[in-house]
């Protein structure tokens, strides 16, 4: 199957143009000479160029990008403007800080501070997930992480403070009974 040659360059700039079908000079078979005699067999792809290559010309025209693949290096991407994800990041960071503070061996202070961080992380995570689902913000994974960490920190802080209060009450009751 042969394809027609490309139309001549009418831009006036000359230079290289991408030819996906290989119809460069010399790639098409030459018509036979009169009398059936061909002075020299032509090999595909070899021959004299019709014009010398230009050292600096127009940029080569690339074929269209295949769907489902990332754009080629240097090509503009189909991505729109970046959406904000500050609330999602803040939620995740507060959840991580809450877990870190919860691990400190300071009885009530670490429980109260981690509880506050957990509540704020859960609230910010919920708001960020709502905005992501509306398409107004980005960072859904970070928002989910912040929400889950916030809920876990809140639960562990409340359980820890109740256990500490119960342990102190038992110790206080034992001390009063022995005297």
Q: What is the pLDDT of residues 85-96, one digit of tens each?
A: 999 999 999 999
The vertex-132 CA angle with 80 and 85, nearest 5°, equals 70
Q: 110, 101 in Cβ contact below 8 A?
A: yes
- In tens, the pLDDT along 80-137 reads 678 899 999 999 999 999 999 999 988 788 899 999 999 999 999 999 999 999 999 9
Q: Cα(176)–Cα(142) distance, rounded to whole angstroms? A: 50
What percent helix, strand, coil does the chain show, rounded to 5? 45, 0, 55
pTM: 0.54
Per-domain residue ranges for the chain?
Answer: 86-178
């Amino acid at each position: 199957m042969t394809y027609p040659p490309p139309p001549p360059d009418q831009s006036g700039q000359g230079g290289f143009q991408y030819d996906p079908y290989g119809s460069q000079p010399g790639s098409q078979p030459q018509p036979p000479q009169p009398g059936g005699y061909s002075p020299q067999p032509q090999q595909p792809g070899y021959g004299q160029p019709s014009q010398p290559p230009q050292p600096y010309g127009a940029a080569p025209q690339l074929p269209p990008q295949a769907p489902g693949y990332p754009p080629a290096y240097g090509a503009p991407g189909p991505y729109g403007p970046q959406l904000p994800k500050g609330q999602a990041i803040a939620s995740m960071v507060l959840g991580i800080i809450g877990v870190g503070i919860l691990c400190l061996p300071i009885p009530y202070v670490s429980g109260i501070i981690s509880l506050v961080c957990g509540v704020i992380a859960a609230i910010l995570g919920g708001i960020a997930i709502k905005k992501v689902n509306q398409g107004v913000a980005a960072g859904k994974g970070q928002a989910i992480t912040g929400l889950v960490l916030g809920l876990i920190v809140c639960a562990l802080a409340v359980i820890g403070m109740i256990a500490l209060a119960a342990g102190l009450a038992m110790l206080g009751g034992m001390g009063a009974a022995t005297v």
